[in-house]
Structure 1
Amino acid sequence: MNGPTLHKTAANCAQELPGALLDHPFGDDWEVFKVRGKVFMLMTEAPGRPVVILKAEPGEALALRDQNSHITPGYHMNKKHWITLEGGKGVEKSLVRELVTESYRLVVAGLPKAERPIDPHTHGNGARAGR
């Protein structure tokens, strides 16, 4: 998957998530997706290549980086809790959608229950339901 397709796939997935809003707090070069004011995805070009920056559980982030050369520590973010995804051979739409949805769920899980647009433990991928 090339960079423009990566950004389009990630943005399309994010826009489908309940309560997700696009913002540009850092200027036009950064697309920032938030849920209830909390960031769950950032998109930009770093340096010169399209990237998507997502929240991940620390152990999962480490495993993803070990298993995929297109996933690195979060660009300009906490390296333990965020990952950067680049486009490239072997990066499938299903992986992008899974990572975006998981980032969203992690952020929603940190919100007060009354503010959550979904139940983060059951939303999305059936394989992960009940986690």
Structure 2
Amino acid sequence: MNGTTLQTFAAECAEELPGARLEHPFGPDQEVFEVRGKVFMPMTSVPGKPVVILKSEPGEAEALRETHADVSHGYHMNKKHWITLEAGTSIDEKLVEELGTESCRLAVGDLPRSNQPVDPETYGTRARAARR
């Protein structure tokens, strides 16, 4: 998966998530997907390489960085809770979709229950279970 394909596919997945919106709070070169004002997927270029930045549980983020050469600490984000995906052979569409859904779920979990477009405890779990 090349960089443009990575960002395009990640954006397509994000657009399907409940309550997700594309914003440009930092200018036209940085696309940011938010849900109810909470950022869950910024996309930018890190010296010229397109990347996707996602929220992740700290333990999961560490495991992903250890097992995928194309996953690193979150660029300009909290290094414990965010990861950066770069295009490469260790990243596939299924992983991008799962990580994007998880990032959105984590962002929604930070919202008051009345503002959550989905239940963060169950959202995405049935879809993942069906694919296994």
Partner-residue secondary structure (3-state), 1:83: strand
Alignment partners' CA distance in 1, 2:11 and 2:92: 15
CA contact (8 A) 2:53 2:82 kept: yes
Residue 12 of structure 2 aligns with an amino acid whose one-letter code is N
Aligned partner of 1:85 in structure 2 is 85
- Give % identity: 64
Residue 72 of structure 2 aligns with an amino acid whose one-letter code is T
> Scaled by the length of structure 1, what TM-score is found?
0.95
Aligned partner of 1:57 in structure 2 is 57
Residue 110 of structure 2 aligns with an amino acid whose one-letter code is G
Aligned partner of 1:99 in structure 2 is 99
The number of aligned residues is: 129
Residues 45-97 of structure 1: CA deviation (Å, up to 9, x unaligned) = 11110100000000100000000010000000000000000011131100000
Alignment partners' CA distance in 1, 2:24 and 2:84: 18
Unaligned runs of 5+ in 1: none
- CA-CA distance at 1:125 after TM superposition: 3.7
Partner-residue secondary structure (3-state), 2:8: helix
Residues 99-120 of structure 1: CA deviation (Å, up to 9, x unaligned) = 0000000010111000000011
What does residue range 1-131 of structure 1 map to in structure 2 within 5 Å?
1-126=1-126
Alignment partners' CA distance in 1, 2:56 and 2:20: 17
Residue 35 of structure 1 aligns with an amino acid whose one-letter code is V
Residue 91 of structure 1 aligns with an amino acid whose one-letter code is I
Distance 1:52 1:9, change over 3 A: same
- CA-CA distance at 1:128 after TM superposition: 5.9
Alignment partners' CA distance in 2, 1:82 and 1:90: 18
Partner-residue secondary structure (3-state), 1:34: strand
- CA-CA distance at 1:126 after TM superposition: 2.2
Alignment partners' CA distance in 2, 1:117 and 1:127: 17
- Aligned-residue CA RMSD in angstroms? 1.2
CA contact (8 A) 1:52 1:86 kept: yes
Residue 123 of structure 1 aligns with an amino acid whose one-letter code is Y
Partner-residue secondary structure (3-state), 2:32: strand
> Scaled by the length of structure 2, what TM-score is found?
0.94
Unaligned runs of 5+ in 2: none
Query: Runs of 4+ in structure 1 displaced over 2 angstroms?
Result: 125-129
